[in-house]
Structure 1
Amino acid sequence: MKATTLRIFLSVHTWVGLVSGMFLFIAFYAGAISVFVHELQGWERPAQTALSRAEGINASQALLDRVLREHPKTAEGLTLVLPGEHGPRPSAYWYDASVGAQRKFVMDDAGAVQQLPGRGGFVEFIYDLHFTAGLPRTVGLYVFGVVCILYGLALVSGVVIYAPAFLKDLFALRAGSNVKRFWQDAHNVVGVLSLPFHVIFAWSGAVLTIGFVMLAPFQFLVFENKLLTVLEADFELAPHVEPAGIAKPMLSVAELVRRADLALPGLATESLFYHDAGDANVQVTAYGALPQRTLNGFGGVALNGATGEVIKALGPKDFPPGMAMLRGLQTLHYGNFGGFAVKWLYFLLGLMGAFLFYSGNLLWIEARRKRRQIPQPRRTRFVAGLTIGVCLGSVAGISAVFLVAALAPRVTIATGYFCVFFAALLWAFVRPPARAAHELLWLCAALTLAIPVAGWLGSGEHVFAAFWDGHWHRALIDATAIAMALAFWRMAVATLRRSRNGDPNSLWAMH
């Protein structure tokens, strides 16, 4: 390859990575944690005794009846989530189109219905942070769609640059006095070894965020505004039926679940979506797990909620191409296959991805510093502060989210995160980079180490009691937090050692 062509790819890789790197750091770090979205549910509260299947069905029926009676508008479209993987108690969700927000309904111990924000919990906040980096949800989704496209471009250009030395330097980690070379080796090794997963994340991330925008040229220029109509049947389990305008009693939750199980043997129903509840044409769609040795392990059954007639039943192997592709991309993106082994793999890949973008920015800073003088260019100083503040601020902010959820339930989760995030960002610009990095890493270590303490105070169960009582989710969360706090501590110590013993003409020197 010509030297000029290689320089072009290097420039593309550098600037695309620099622009999207900090967004992607937040996405990967938050995504690594949100892999365990179900396990995190209820971490901050005392452990609830799981209901039996029959008790869960009865509790779900009671919640459904109360919600429809007290909030009639929810009959337009209400999702009932049964107890199980999504939590030990039933919940219901309704999208209020008048205000553009989702509502969540649960029953308290006294049997009264409580209405909560649909995405108000700390788990939902971390999950949304993965897709939005803290921007308003709609804006953040579109921004991340563009970032994912840039991410794919950075992957392609990185492969082109590294391909000539692929076998020679694949496992090279040359530690020594040349710190830049060591970081370059680590960046290359992590990037190449995890390349297949990064390709999946970039592709699926773009499709899941701005998929419909990507279809716009075909919709308007090729298919004369008819493409979405053609694809509609390929992305829906069963077409919507207009309401008859005649009231009719619905079958019970237990009966609908039974009929769904009969229509699709092996289906473990997790949720029921009610469309036009109480109408003669009420349509209920049951979704649940149905492993069939396919990437997508979910099936669905659409029924008439009044008569129990099966409208359509689809197992994973029967999904139309569009639905199969979309479900497959979702499964690949979230790691919803292979059980805990894949979840832990995705967790580690998420942390490695965060390291990849953090190290990419550090390499840019190191390549542009002045080597014969202590004062450094203003732009280099700015990028260093931005990298430290955004990356370490998001880490500290996410740890703070756990503390707020467990110790200050009346404080808005977003308030706790953004207070820590912007304070860290400001600190990174006020302090010299080396001092800011060292101090913010200590902050990350302290806040992360406080997670099991906050969980103990909030739930009344410390990590050892959780192990003893068999509450494995809480025990593993606390143990992982302790391990990550130790990692941040070691990074803080290494940063301090580098600032004292490294090149004095560096941004990372302790001046």
Structure 2
Amino acid sequence: MKAATLRIFLSVHTWVGLAAGMLLFIAFYAGALSVFVHELQDWERAGKPVAAATADPQALVDAVFAAHPGAAHGLYLVLPGEHGPVPQAYWFDEATGVQRRFALGDGGALEERAPRAGFVDFIYDLHFTAGLPRTFGTYLFGVVCILYGLALVSGVVLYAPVFLKDLFALRIGRNLKRMWQDAHNVVGVLSLPFHVIFAWSGAVLTIGFVLLAPFQFLVYDGKLLKLLEADFDIAPHVEPAGTPAPVLPVAELLRRGQLALPGLEVESVLFHDAGDANGTATLYGGLPQRRLNQLGGVALNAGSGELVNALGPKDYPPGMAFLRGLQALHYGNFGQAAVKWLYFVLGLAGAFLFYSGNLLWIEARRKRRQLQQPRRTRLVAALTLGVCLGSVAGISALFLADKLLPQAWLRASYFVVFFAAIGWACVRRPARAGHELLWLCAVLTALVPAAAWIGTGAPPWAGLAHGDATRLVVDAFALVLAWAYWRMARATLRRGREGDPNSIWALPAREG
């Protein structure tokens, strides 16, 4: 390949990676944690009492329909189980454009709760919005995923000529730039299939409908979504009949659904036009089969219980199989614990990939014959440290706030730490800011076990008596990550004192 062409690919790889890298760092770090979303929800609930009266799905459905008749148009019921010990109901209020969440409180009284208010929900949101407003952040991340794909393609083109020669090369020595370059390359190449899946599935899941728009309006004359309806829903939408029909009890719907699809472990029920003769209840749940996706569904007439359609994973039409499979690949919803741990490690490795990419850009553009470095280099260094390390420290602060502060302060705790870290990185020398912010990450993360002990009143090993090791595992990994941040803080300070004096990471002799 010509040198000029390689320079174009290098420019694309560098600038696309720089533009998307910091947002992708947050997405990957938060995504690595959200792989264990159900385990973290167990950690979140530890020590918080749950009223027995809240465990009745039928009482919740009846209460929501009685208090909010408009919810009959579309109510999503989450059953007790993997998603928590109590049922919850969600309704998108079209009049206000807001999703509303309901549960039963003490004595069976209907309570409206803030949607996505828990710290695990917020970490999950960080994964695909980076803390930006939900709709805007989701669409922005769709664009970022496309840029991410460009960075992957250009990186492969650049690295392909020396792929076998340098694949396992990690030259540790005084040339720190070469060592970081080797680490960046080997992590990128070895985890390339994972990154391809994430770039592709991330774009489809966030802006898939936007990407379909040209075909919908220019090719299919507005009929494409109608043609694709069978690939999105278990049963096609039917207009209301206008004839009232009482909804069958939840228990009866579950019984009929399991008869229609034996082995289905129902996790949720979607009521559509409930109370109408054409109303439907669609049951979703796990159905173990030898498929990448293991989600099955049964659509019933909500009033008569008549079977409309039943689909197991092996019966999906091609479009639905593709979409559900892509979702399973993105979230790691297959392969049980082994895949979760693999995704966790690859998520942290991905965060390192974007962090190291920015550091390499900074190092490549420094002035080697003078102490004073260009303003743009100092700005990128400050933003890289502030955004990346600020998000790490902010997420650790979320864990502390969940156990020690009122629920209303959860999100504020993240943003206070995040923006304080960015401000600190902008006013301190990069070497000092990196050292101090890594210390902040280490301290906040190391305090997670103590905060959980104080918040629950029980030691980390208390759950072992009941066969639950979640607390112990979460606390142990918090200490491992705290140790890693402490070692990185020491290495940053040592680099500042002993490294090249004409570097943005150097400390003046009087500060060393």
Match of 1:210 in 2: 207
* Residue pair 2:268, 2:285 contacting (<8 A) in 1 also: yes
Matched ranges for 1:90-169 at <5 A:
90-169=87-166
Distance 1:234 1:57, change over 3 A: farther
Give distance in 1, aligned partners of 2:218 and 2:116. 37
* Residue pair 2:53, 2:107 contacting (<8 A) in 1 also: no
Give distance in 1, aligned partners of 2:243 and 2:457. 51
Match of 2:44 in 1: 44
Give distance in 1, aligned partners of 2:479 and 2:107. 37
List alignment gaps of at least 5 residues for structure 2: none
TM-score of the superposition, structure 2-length normalised?
A: 0.96
Which whole-Å deviations, capped at 9, do the CAs of 1:8-62 have from their partners, x for residues lacking one?
11111111111110010011001001111111114233357999xxx99971112
Match of 1:396 in 2: 393
Shift of 1:132: 0.8
Which whole-Å deviations, capped at 9, do the CAs of 1:476-502 have from their partners, x for residues lacking one?
222211111111111111111111111
Distance 1:58 1:455, change over 3 A: closer
Match of 2:29 in 1: 29
AA aligned opposite 2:270:
F
AA aligned opposite 2:272:
H
Q: Does 1:10 align with 2:7?
A: no
Give distance in 1, aligned partners of 2:288 and 2:415. 40
Q: CA RMSD of the aligned region, Å?
A: 1.7
**Which of 256, 268, 288 is the equivalent residue of 2:253?**
256
Give distance in 2, aligned partners of 1:89 and 1:475. 24
Q: Does 1:291 align with 2:288?
A: yes
Match of 2:418 in 1: 421
Shift of 1:372: 1.5
Match of 1:320 in 2: 317
Shift of 1:509: 1.2
Shift of 1:213: 1.0
Which whole-Å deviations, capped at 9, do the CAs of 1:79-107 have from their partners, x for residues lacking one?
11111111111111111122222111112
**SS of corresponding position for 1:279:** coil
Which whole-Å deviations, capped at 9, do the CAs of 1:366-418 have from their partners, x for residues lacking one?
00111121111111000000100000001111111122222112434321111
Match of 1:360 in 2: 357
Give distance in 2, aligned partners of 1:410 and 1:223. 48
**SS of corresponding position for 1:110:** helix
Give distance in 1, aligned partners of 2:50 and 2:297. 25
Q: Which moved more, 1:373-382 or 1:88-97?
A: 88-97
Distance 1:81 1:425, change over 3 A: same
Shift of 1:128: 0.9
Distance 1:195 1:89, change over 3 A: same
Which whole-Å deviations, capped at 9, do the CAs of 1:109-130 have from their partners, x for residues lacking one?
3322211122111111111111
Give distance in 1, aligned partners of 2:405 and 2:107. 23
Give distance in 2, aligned partners of 1:293 and 1:412. 44
* Residue pair 1:48, 1:88 contacting (<8 A) in 2 also: no
Match of 2:470 in 1: 473
Give distance in 2, aligned partners of 1:510 and 1:476. 38
Distance 1:462 1:405, change over 3 A: same
Which whole-Å deviations, capped at 9, do the CAs of 1:300-325 have from their partners, x for residues lacking one?
00001111111000000111122111
List alignment gaps of at least 5 residues for structure 1: none
Q: Does 1:231 align with 2:228?
A: yes
**SS of corresponding position for 1:228:** helix
Distance 1:495 1:26, change over 3 A: same
Match of 1:370 in 2: 367
* Residue pair 1:448, 1:484 contacting (<8 A) in 2 also: yes
Q: Which moved more, 1:427-436 or 1:494-503?
A: 494-503
Give distance in 1, aligned partners of 2:87 and 2:452. 23
* Residue pair 2:284, 2:295 contacting (<8 A) in 1 also: yes
**SS of corresponding position for 2:401:** helix
AA aligned opposite 2:408:
V
**SS of corresponding position for 2:225:** helix
Match of 2:79 in 1: 82
* Residue pair 1:28, 1:351 contacting (<8 A) in 2 also: yes
Q: Does 1:488 align with 2:473?
A: no
**SS of corresponding position for 2:89:** strand
Shift of 1:260: 0.5
* Residue pair 1:56, 1:90 contacting (<8 A) in 2 also: no
Which whole-Å deviations, capped at 9, do the CAs of 1:188-216 have from their partners, x for residues lacking one?
00000000000000000000011111111
Matched ranges for 1:334-345 at <5 A:
334-345=331-342
* Residue pair 2:47, 2:457 contacting (<8 A) in 1 also: no
* Residue pair 2:54, 2:105 contacting (<8 A) in 1 also: no
**SS of corresponding position for 1:359:** helix
**SS of corresponding position for 1:270:** strand
Shift of 1:444: 0.6
**SS of corresponding position for 2:111:** strand
**SS of corresponding position for 1:44:** helix
AA aligned opposite 1:152:
G
Which whole-Å deviations, capped at 9, do the CAs of 1:269-296 have from their partners, x for residues lacking one?
0011111222332210000001111011
Which whole-Å deviations, capped at 9, do the CAs of 1:163-200 have from their partners, x for residues lacking one?
11101100000000000000000000000000000000
Q: Does 1:63 align with 2:67?
A: no
Q: Does 1:246 align with 2:234?
A: no
Q: Does 1:181 align with 2:171?
A: no
Give distance in 1, aligned partners of 2:214 and 2:385. 39
Shift of 1:233: 2.5
**SS of corresponding position for 2:283:** strand
**SS of corresponding position for 2:296:** strand
TM-score of the superposition, structure 1-length normalised?
A: 0.96
Give distance in 1, aligned partners of 2:418 and 2:362. 22
AA aligned opposite 1:427:
W
Distance 1:450 1:58, change over 3 A: closer
AA aligned opposite 2:309:
K
Distance 1:377 1:48, change over 3 A: closer
* Residue pair 2:54, 2:106 contacting (<8 A) in 1 also: no
Distance 1:197 1:288, change over 3 A: same
Q: Which moved more, 1:228-237 or 1:3-12?
A: 228-237
**SS of corresponding position for 1:411:** helix
- Percent identical among aligned pairs is 69
